[in-house]
Structure 1
Amino acid sequence: MAKGIIIRDAHFPGRAQIDTYGNGGFRFADMSHKGSLMLLPSGIHGWDVNEGDVLTVASLERILDQAAEIEFLLVGTGKELVRIPNDVKEALRAAGIGSDPMSTGAAVRTYNVMLAEERAVAAVLMAV
């Protein structure tokens, strides 16, 4: 039996507002996370996409798997607004999910408001 540190995928099993962001990570639910996040109805997950990466359908697989529970996806693209590629936008539309790209800061603020309104929202946030 091997001993040592076991590294698991970052996951918070619930919904929570984002308290702060910056310095390459986020704070929420009295915890901090270094890196990007995917905020879903099923919980908050670490997301292996960084500012400057091109968004792909594969990087949003978890979102598409939970499409029945999501009406709208906020895409925090980092410090600057970056368009969602057409194939990604079409895959989201086909799954019945509206989407809007914006800076990560704007996405955090919008997500917190929509979560407080109990909307069927999800977000992907590239760390800044």
Structure 2
Amino acid sequence: MSDALPASGFHAGQYTIDGYGAGGFSFAHLSHRGSILMLPSGVHVWSATAPAEITEESLAELFRAPRGTVEHLLLGTGTDLVPPRPALRAALKAAGIVVDPMATGAAARTYNILLGERRRVACALIAVA
């Protein structure tokens, strides 16, 4: 890892995840300590640090994306799989987004595969040690 995510908390572009762990992620020759939200428009700093903090509000950037831009959200919930609350699942479904919760490591690996297949995918990843 070389440079940190810009101070703006956003880096334009869609990238694979090169590494994860030690409380952060590396991608596009950048690194970030903390959680991230990876959308087709770019990588955002994400405020969630625990599954209880995964809400419509914390995923506001995702909900602002044009409909159809994201069809599948991989939700990395930390070291363990924690299903999203029914209200969040319903809001995502209403937005045309299928959510797939899993441990963060599995979500990062699956994201890279789906991105390589040119799927309309995003991921929200809670950082793990």
**AA paired with 1:19?**
D
Cα separation, 2, equivalents of 1:51 and 1:88: 15
Are 1:23 and 2:22 counterparts?
yes
SS at match of 2:87: helix
For structure 1, list consecutive stretches of 5 or more residues without a partner in the other structure: 1-6
SS in 1 for 2:81: coil
Structure 1 residue 52: Cα displacement: 4.3
Q: Which residue of 2 aligns with 1:89?
A: 89
Cα offset, 1:9, TM superposition: 2.9
Letter in 2 for 1:85: R
- What is the match of residue 124 of structure 1? 124
| Seq. identity, % | 46
Partner secondary structure for residue 99 of structure 1: strand
1:49 matched to 2:48: yes
Match of 1:106 in 2: 106
Alpha-carbon deviations, 1:37-87, whole Å to 9, x = none? Answer: 000010001101103433211111111111330110000000000010000
Could you tell me how far apart the structure 1 residues matched to 2:73 and 2:8 are? 22
- 1:74 aligned partner, one-letter code: L
Aligned partners of 1:42, 1:77: CA distance in 2, in Å?
A: 22
Structure 1 consecutive aligned stretches of length 4 or more whose deviation exceeds 3 Å: none
Q: TM-score, normalised by structure 1?
A: 0.91
Residue in 2 that maps onto 1:62: 61
Gaps of 5+ in 2: 1-5
Corresponding residue SS for 2:62: helix
> How many positions carry a matched residue from both structures?
122
AA of the residue aligned to 2:48: V
Distance 1:57 1:34 in 2: 22
CA-atom RMSD in angstroms: 1.3
Aligned residue number for residue 9 of structure 2: 10
